[in-house]
Amino acid sequence: MKKRCAMVLVAFFVSACAPAPPPESKHTDETQEKWYAETVEQLVRFNRQAAQAFQAGKFEDASNLILKGQPLANRLLDVARPTLPAVEAASDLDQLYGQMLLMNRNYGWARLEFQKNRARWKSWQPQTDETARRLKQAEDAIAECDRKMTQ
């Protein structure tokens, strides 16, 4: 009887040390949710408006649109596997912000924005002509920053 009781106690303590069962997975693909597509569209719209303002010399308007787009880009990229259109929209925002910083002679900050794009497109799979073009664009912008910093 003592032996059986001891075995039950040992079994109880061993089972108490076992890891907890994994939580039920409630993971959903957020990129398939309605808000995700709407946010991509909104960011693309902000990017287009900011680029137009930048080209027209309305730098304050462009800056305000870039600031409005930043939280959208962050939200899109915070999901487990962002979509290519979302990454492209975030990349366009970073590219435009980098161009504004470059224009204002903030070369180090501009370079940082372009480096984000280089890292993004260097590691993107699968590589396409478009991702290669974006990678080259980022590398060219970094080289321009480096030239301006040494002048």
* Each residue's pLDDT tens digit, 84-108: 999 999 999 999 999 999 999 999 9
> pLDDT at residue 56 above 70?
yes
The single-letter code of the amino acid at 89 is: A
Q: pLDDT category, 28, cuts 50, 70, 90?
A: confident
Token pair, residue 77, equals: 């990229």
Predicted confidence (pLDDT) per residue in 121-138, tens digit: 999 999 999 999 999 999
Mean pLDDT of the chain: 89
The rounded percent of the chain whose pLDDT value lies above 90 is 81
Q: How far is it, in rounded angstroms, from Cα 86 to Cα 100?
A: 21
Predicted confidence (pLDDT) per residue in 34-43, tens digit: 999 999 999 9
* pLDDT at res. 17: 56
Around 6, how many Cα atoms within 13 Å sit in the side-chain half-sphere?
3
> pLDDT at residue 16 above 70?
no
Predicted confidence (pLDDT) per residue in 5-15, tens digit: 545 445 555 55
User: How far does Cα 6 stand from its chain's mean position?
Assistant: 56
Three-state secondary structure string covering 10-29: HHHHHHHCCCCCCCCCCCCC
Q: pLDDT category, 26, cuts 50, 70, 90?
A: low
Please report the sign of the dihedral spanned by the C-alpha atoms of residue 47, residue 52, residue 57, residue 61: negative
Q: How far is it, in rounded angstroms, from Cα 67 to Cα 46?
A: 10
* pLDDT at res. 9: 47
* pLDDT at res. 23: 58
pTM for this entry: 0.80
Q: How far is it, in rounded angstroms, from Cα 116 to Cα 77?
A: 13
The single-letter code of the amino acid at 34 is: K
> pLDDT at residue 25 above 70?
no
